[in-house]
Structure formats: C-alpha cells, structure tokens
Chain A
Amino acid sequence: MKTLLGITLVLAVFGSCKSNNGGNTLPFYGNRTPVTKTVNGQTVTDTIYQTIPPFKFVNQYGDSITEKNLGGKIYVADFFFTSCPSICPVMQRNMLNVYNAFKADPNIKILSFTIDPKYDSVKVLKKYADKLGVSGNSWWFLQGKKDTTYKLAEKNYLIAVSQDNTAPGGYVHQGYFVLVDKEKRVRGAYDGTQPEQVNQLIADIKTLKAEPAPAPGQ
C-alpha cells in the first residue's frame, strides 16, 4: 500500500510539471515578483516574471527593430560578430538548424546581436546573412550601440547563465542561445556550440509554441 501511495505521489508530482500538450513546462529565469489581486471576490497571489525591456536596433535590411516587432512571438537571441574567428562560425552553423526548422513559421524569430558594431555595419550584416543563406524576416542580424547590447545581454538575456555562475561576467562571448517566450520572458539558455543542446532548443521551442496564450489583460 505504501509503495502504491509512493508511486501515486511521484506520478502526481511528475504530472504537475507537464503542460497540456504532454511536453515539459520550461522554467522561468530572472527576478520574480509576487502580486496579490482579487479575482471573483477571492484573493489570489500571482507571480510577475522578469521580461526583456524595450529596445531599438537596426537589422540587416536597415530597418529599425524594436520589442514591438516581437509582440506575441517566440524568439531565440544570441551574440556574435562577423569577424569572430573562434566560436561564432560553429554557433551560426548550429543556428542554421533552428532557422531551417522554423523559417516557415512567422511566429518564431531569431535575433543575432553583433557585439562589434564598429565594423558590423548594415551592409556587412547583409553580406553575412547572404553568405549563410538567410533570407526573409525569420532571422535578423541586429546592430546597435555596443554598451547597450552588452547591458541588454547581461541584465536580461543572459540572466539564466549568470544565475548559475559566480564569475563576474564574461558570458556574452560564450556562445549561448537564449529562448524568449511570447511574453518576453527568458525560458532557457543553451550552449550554441553543442549540436545536442541546439536540438534541445528546437524541442523546447515546440513546447513553448504549445503553451496556452495568455489571458487578455495579463
């Protein structure tokens, strides 16, 4: 009887970590704030998770890209530069697998932020995209002020990485792919140089796609 109860408990805990589609629920990263509100006369406590703040960059076509272009979309962000001789070529080869898996889906995007805006002009980024075989608007290569890019990376996108490390920074040039959900919350960080982690990212994007849409006003 005790064994049966134990198995039931384990199954209940396991089941609570599953989403409606049967896939795992992905974690949330960053700061979280409990908020108490009244719903139908009852007091409930909700959690507000850290989100990616507003930003403005320019893509490989010379168009301005802000957080508004990503409203309700799932996206993957990474940090690179076109003349990078070490990890970036491997990262972008692996990112091509993500691009090829979702390029027909307008609700999935890839954002590659250059950390060398001095040389990675719009023209250079377009040439780089063309060389990779990237066309259309699924994958944007973005240029902005260098310190703004680093700030956004450290304080927001790479929060999942810095939470698990004690070193004071140095994560931007480590090849992470960051998964952001439809509500701008960070839901995963993957080593973009490792094909098996990139496969996991592809699987996790499918899990996020199946998450129910947020209720209006939330």
Chain B
Amino acid sequence: METALEAGHILLENGAEIFRVEETMDRICHHYGLESGNAFVLSNGIFVTAGDTREQVFAKVQHIPVSSAQLDKVVAVNQLSREIVQGKYTVQEAGEALKRIRNMQGKTRWARILASGLGSGAFCVLFGGNLQDAFSASAAGLLLYLFVLGMGERLSKIVFNIAGSALVTLLCGFLGFVGVGVHMNFMIMGSIMPLIPGVPFVNAIRDMANGDYISGSVRMLDALLTFVCIAIGVGLGTALLHGGMGGGYLV
C-alpha cells in the first residue's frame, strides 16, 4: 500500500486527473492482494485505507502540496502501473521503480528557458505579430522564464504572477520603444503565454466532468486566480508604461 500511495503521490503532484490517481492506486492495491483497498483523493491530499486477511484495517493520509507539473512522470507511473498489473514487479521492485521515477531529471533549465522563449515567439505569430514582434516576444519569454526559475520558489503565487506579467509588459514596452518590435499587443500576448495556467484549467474541467467537484473547483479556482493575476499584472505594466511615456504611446 506504501507503493500505491507513493504512486498516487507522484501522479497527483505532477498534474494527473483525480480519477486517474484513484484508479491507479486501486489497481496496485488489488494486484498485491489487498482486499479492501480504498482511496479517497482530493486535489492536495490522499486518504487510503486498506486491509487484508492478516491485518484488518490500515489507514494512511498524505498531504501533497501543489507544485509544477512534469508530465513525463505521469506517463512513467502510468506505464509502471500497467506493468504491475501484468505481474512484472514484486512489491520491492515496484517501490524502487517509483523511487527512480520520483528522482527522474526534468528537462535542464536552459532547455526550459529556450522552450519558453520559443513558445512565446510562436504564440506571438499566432496572434498576428510579424517576425520582429516574434523576436522580441521570444526575448521577453526567455527573461520571463529566468524570472520564473529564480523567484518561483520564493514568492507567493499571486505576487509571482502579477510581478511576472508586469515584468513582461514593461519589457515588451521597452523593446517596442527601442524599435525592435512593432506591435506591442501581440508581443505581450505571446510572452505571457508561459504563465497561462493550462494544466490546472484542463484538469479542473476533467475532474468536474468525472464528478470530482471538490478537486475540480479547487483547481478551477487556481486557474481563474492565475488568469486574474496575469490581467492585473498586465494592467499594472500598461499603466506604468502610459505614465512613464506620456500616454498615447501604445498603438
């Protein structure tokens, strides 16, 4: 059951849906001969009870803080649970495999910074910017992700999102001012994309569709709050730009 709990923990932490967590844990419990395995999963906690013929009831609660998503771990645990059901692992081996998955290296920081820049540039083109705009959006996206990596741990989520999007807005304003980019709007739209809460938004919808209303609404609130914070940050940045440059500058 420790194994099941660990698997559930990794899944939940890295952005899997509630029903996937529950189902995976159920399958692992049943495979290892626990008769009355029962898991109750919320968006930031797992409650399991289990019993077999020797032990009557055994319960465990684990709190799981919200953190950033690493989808490759979800893929790995999913694969592992399928192989467990096929009987390829003993309990100990499964535990070790989970430990390996937990320590799995994410992408390097530079790769992620580059990806953020690339994504910002691409989405800038998508919203209608030209190549110059895309270039400056990329630059803003790169710097934004540097900020994310540097400050993400230290600031609260609200302040972090407001500061991040304000930073991007100011940066784009500056780049537009020195003449690298032409369309301010498209530049900003592109470069705030790395902040947009895609994972909680999609997971919230799917949790609600599966009837996990508590987790669904918590995650939806998370997504909405982030959207609002981004809007505030952009507004703040725009206001600063207007004030600093005598208004009417933004086209």
* A pairs with B: no
Interface residues of A (CB under 8 A from B): none
